[in-house]
Amino acid sequence: MTDFGFREVSPEEKTQLVGRVFSSVADRYDLMNDLMSVGIHRLWKRHFVAGCALRPGQAVLDLAGGTGDIADLVRRRVQPGGKVLVADINRAMLEAGRRRMDDRGRVGGFEWLQVNAESLPFADRSFDHLTIAFGLRNVTDKTAALAEMHRVLKPGGQVHILEFSHVAPEPVAKAYDLWSFQVLPRLGALVAGDRDSYQYLAESIRRFPNQEALAGQLQEAGFERVRYENLSAGIAAIHRGART
């Protein structure tokens, strides 16, 4: 059994339920991110990508890439000559992302691919960097995904994970809980017509390993020089590690 928010479900059911969440919110996903975080997710994402030490010509896999926020930022830094592959299990999210990039006139430099992070259709040692933002929490078998992430990186390649994490200071944690459980589901109902998906979001964050635990899981998967930094008092955190 595994967790889907605060519920215990079978792994197959979790994959199905997560699929339903993102198919349901795909068209309102970007707007909801802006509203829920009052735009702060954009700053986190810029900071995340700025710290990836990307170079022109590099190959980057943006896993669970959804509507392409990270890939769009990565693309500029690996040009000329580089490429970014947006890989996500959910067709509706990929389609929303592709439409969005087409609307902005950003048609080159991306590839969009429907894949499951637990079993990547790429050869060993294919990528210089792998980014995954707000994705790992939604993957059913995180151990398998981390092993795959390690496998497809070139020696010297780096993994970069941006994910919600655990807030330490008590007053911040209380306010954040109030926002997460009282405001987010109502906002989800109002804007995306889907209360339950945003209730799942709040719950899944609480079930996700804290900063130290995730660092330990990265080490177990074989990553070296694992380190993390907190963003906004730990509401989110960035973990990085290297394949040697």
CB of 159 to ligand SAM, least distance (A): 14
CB of 1 to ligand SAM, least distance (A): 17
Is the Cβ of residue 64 or residue 146 nearer to ligand SAM in the bound state? 64
Residue nearest to ligand SAM (CB): 66
CB of 13 to ligand SAM, least distance (A): 14
Is the Cβ of residue 93 or residue 214 nearer to ligand SAM in the bound state? 93
Q: Smallest Cα–Cα separation from 141: which of 11, 4, 8, 7?
A: 11
Which contiguous run of DSSP H or E holds residue 224? strand 224-231
Is the Cβ of residue 18 or residue 238 nearer to ligand SAM in the bound state? 18
Is the Cβ of residue 169 or residue 209 nearer to ligand SAM in the bound state? 209
Spatial separation of the C-alpha atoms in residues 9 and 11, rounded to whole Å: 6
CB of 98 to ligand SAM, least distance (A): 13
CB of 68 to ligand SAM, least distance (A): 8
Is the Cβ of residue 10 or residue 244 nearer to ligand SAM in the bound state? 10
Is the Cβ of residue 91 or residue 171 nearer to ligand SAM in the bound state? 91
Sequence-separated contacts (24+) of 189-193 with Cβ below 8 Å: 191/28, 191/31, 191/32, 191/35, 192/24, 192/25, 192/28, 192/29, 192/32, 193/28
CB of 88 to ligand SAM, least distance (A): 5
- The torsion region of residue 151 among left (phi > 0), alpha (psi -120 to 50) and beta comes to alpha
Q: What percent of the chain is helix, strand and coil (3-state, nearest 5)? A: 50, 25, 25
Residue 244 · residue 224 · CB < 8 Å: yes
Spatial separation of the C-alpha atoms in residues 149 and 158, rounded to whole Å: 10
CA atoms within 13 A on the CB side of 91: 0
Judged by the rule CB under 6 A, the positions of this chain that interact with ligand SAM are 18, 22, 64-66, 69-70, 88-90, 93, 116-118, 133-135, 138-139
Tell me the sheet residues that pair with 82.
none
